[in-house]
Every structure is written in C-alpha cells, then in structure tokens.
Amino acid sequence: MNILNLFSAMPGAVAQGLIWGITAIGIYITFRILDIADLTVDGSLCTGGAVCIMMMLSGHNVVVAMLVATVAGMVTGLATGFFHTFMGIPAILAGILSQLGLYSINLKIMGKANQAINVDKYDLLVSLRYIKGVPFYKNSIFVVAIGIVLLVLLLYWFFGTELGCALRATGCNGNMSRAQGINTNTSKVLGLMISNGLVGLAGALLAQYQGFADINMGRGAIVIGLAAVIIGEAATSRIFHNFGFKLIGVAIGSIMYYIVLQVVIWLGVDTDLLKLLSALVVAIFLAMPYWRRKYFAKPAVKKGGKDNA
C-alpha cells in the first residue's frame, strides 16, 4: 500500500470523475428538476459510446462523432418520453423498457459486444494516455473541465428561458403548470432528451478515454450518477445556491466519488464488491430525507404572526 501509487492514480480518477460528472449533470436534470428517476441512462451511456467509436472507426471527425453520439442519446430520451407520456407507462418502467431495448440496439450499432479504438491511429479528444506528459491544453482533465464549464453555461442559459422555466415548473407542480398553459408532457419529453443527450455525450467521452466501447459500460450508470448528485449536494449545498454552481457541485461530487473509489481500491478492497458498495452508499443517502422526517422531525410549531397574511 504505497501512498505514491495512490497519488499516481489520482489524475486518472479525476479525469474519470469529470467525464462521469457530465452523466451526473444529466441525471440531475431528470432526478432533481423533473422529479423522474430515469433508468434510460444505463443504456444511453453505451449508445453514446458505441455511436462515437463506430463513427470514428468509419473515418469521421471526433467532433462530428461526438455530436452524433449526443443526438443519439437525445433520441433514447425521446423514446422513454414517448413511452411515458404518449403510452402512459410509469416513468421508471418506461426507462427500464428503453434500457432493455437499447441493449439490442447497442449490440447492433457495434456489431459485437466490444469495439476498441487505437489512440495512436485516431485523433481522440480524450484518452488515458493524455493525462501525463502532454501539453496542458491536450490534457484530458483540462479538456473535460472546459467542456463541463461550457455545458453548465449552456444549461444555465437554457433553464432561464421560457422553455426552461416551463420545464422547472413541470417538475415542481404539474397541476399549476397546466393551469398556466404549459404542456407538461412536452416538458417531460424535452427534459428526458436533454438529460440523455448529456449522458450520450459522456458515453462518447468515456469510450474514447478508455479506448473502447463496451456493451456493459453503462451498467449502474444511474446509481453512479445519483451518488455523484448526492455527494455533490452534500458537499457543496452550503456554498452553492446558484443553479449553475449547483451543476458544478454535481460534477465535483462525481470527482469525489471516483477519488473515494480509488482510495477503496488502493486499500485493497475486492473490486468485485465495488458496485455493491456504491448501491449501499446511494441507498443510505436516498434514505436520509425520509429518516430525517420520520425520526428527527420537530413537532410542527404554528408560527404566529407569520400566518395572518
């Protein structure tokens, strides 16, 4: 257990954390803003990775490949939204259906369960190899960090527009939204598309980073994303109140998750157990608000003076 090994693993953890941070921001949009737990992401992450790798293998430019991967992610969100709104299927089940269907689709996109891409032959935007010994502007940590800042700016702008406000209102209060003329179904579909578009983009980055797309690369993505959201909120909610900073907080949560993961691995914990650990940690954090209400709720005190409005 040489501490130097841990230190040398840190840049990689940070880079992975940042890439997963984009997934987590996507999950934040459905989970926190729309109030939907969207399980599509387990499939759409791989869709993004698969599309990106296959496009690049067939000679397309990395930027084009990533754009198409993002659009592919949005289409998966559209499918889930369609199941949920047009067909009236509960959101969780709609996501599971998409996820299952995407397993086949992802296999068809790749032609097999795994497609590798050689970093020496293709011009990748990010890679394991671009962590040390490259100029800073080529460093994957720098590149993804800049990407996140740009995405957050874009989302910050969008959620301040009429459409973005309609989406926030939909997640908060559907009755009120419809009474104010908002088509809540459209809002939900749009939110699912944006979210899965981000997840598809994250998949494209992840596949480049690890040098391959794999049919299982998205397994548990929803849990990792939720963990990042929860850790990020716990760590930054005292200091970050602005919406844009909250999104940054989620990305920070993702980095923290990967750093902790590295430490756990360095401590010699059996890596087969990592997903179990993640699941338990997320379960406990998700239970917190419920426990707080149930066991620590203060008796409702009527606030005199404030009520005679």
Question: Would you tell me which residues interact with another protein (CB under 8 A)?
Answer: 158-166, 168-169, 172-173, 175-184, 306-309
Which one, 128 or 169, has the nearer CB to another protein?
Answer: 169
The H-or-E segment that residue 128 falls in is: none
Closer residue to another protein (CB): 90 or 160: 160
**SS3 letters for 21-60?**
HHHHHHHHHHHHHCCCCCCCHHHHHHHHHHHHHHHHHCCC
Cβ closest to another protein, residue 82 vs residue 266 = 82
131-140 contacts: CB < 8 A, separation 24 or more?
A: 131/11, 131/12, 131/15, 132/11, 140/15, 140/209
Query: At its nearest, how many Å lie between another protein and the CB of residue 232?
Result: 18
Residue 88 or 181 having the CB closest to another protein: 181
Distance, first Cα to last Cα, the chain:
64
Comparing CA positions, the residue from 41, 71, 86, 48 lying closest to residue 189 is 86
Q: Which residues contact 72 (CB under 8 A, 6 or more apart)?
A: 44, 47, 48, 51, 200
- Of the pair 139, 187, the CB lying nearest another protein is at 187
Rounded-to-integer distance, Cα 42 and Cα 271, Å = 20
**CB nearer another protein, residue 168 or residue 219:** 168
**Rounded to the nearest whole angstrom, what is the least distance from the CB of residue 11 to another protein in the complex?**
37
CB of 305 to another protein, least distance (A): 10
Cβ distance to another protein smaller for residue 179 or 239: 179
Residue 237: CB minimum distance to another protein, A: 14
Element (H, E) at 116: strand 114-116
Count other Cβ atoms within 10 Å, centred on residue 19.
Answer: 29
Residue 214: which H helix or E strand, with range? strand 212-214
Instruction: Give the max Cα distance, the chain.
Output: 72
Min separation Cβ 185 and another protein, Å: 9
Provide the minimum distance between the beta carbon of 165 and another protein in the complex, in angstroms, as a whole number: 4
CB of 86 to another protein, least distance (A): 13
